[in-house]
């Protein structure tokens, strides 16, 4: 079992999406894993198999994950623009 944890999880009923943050050579990337929770006796388990009645909830959590990832990208761009603006102001003052 990996020590890595998702940066965000979204759950609707028994359908869950986990969002993972990865640093790659191409920059930051997000990936998702989609699972369905089920009970086997007293233990909760996860499956990557979905029945007909799971599909709409799966689509909804994937849509929510898509929105969350885009918001993170937007927030990161805004923070980067703010850092760049502060650096430019410092350079202008130093002149």
Give every residue of the chain whose pLDDT is below 50, as ranges: 1
Q: What percent helix, strand, coil does the chain show, rounded to 5?
A: 45, 35, 20
User: 34 and 48 in contact (C-beta within 8 Å)?
Assistant: yes
CA gap 57, 55 in Å, rounded: 5
Predicted confidence at residue 1, as pLDDT, reads 45
Predicted confidence at residue 85, as pLDDT, reads 75
Predicted confidence at residue 35, as pLDDT, reads 98
Predicted confidence at residue 88, as pLDDT, reads 66
Supply the mean pLDDT for the chain.
89
Predicted confidence at residue 70, as pLDDT, reads 96
Predicted confidence at residue 27, as pLDDT, reads 84
Domain residue ranges in the chain: 8-94
């Amino acid at each position: 079992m990996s020590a890595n944890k998702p940066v965000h999880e979204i759950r609707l009923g028994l359908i869950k999406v986990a969002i993972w943050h990865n640093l790659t050579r191409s920059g930051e990337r997000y990936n998702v894993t989609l699972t369905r929770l089920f009970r086997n006796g007293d233990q909760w388990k996860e499956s990557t198999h979905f029945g007909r009645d799971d599909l709409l909830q799966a689509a909804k959590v994937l849509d929510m994950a898509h929105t969350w990832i885009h918001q993170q990208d937007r927030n990161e761009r805004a923070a980067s623009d703010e850092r760049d603006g502060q650096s430019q102001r410092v350079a202008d003052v130093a002149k």
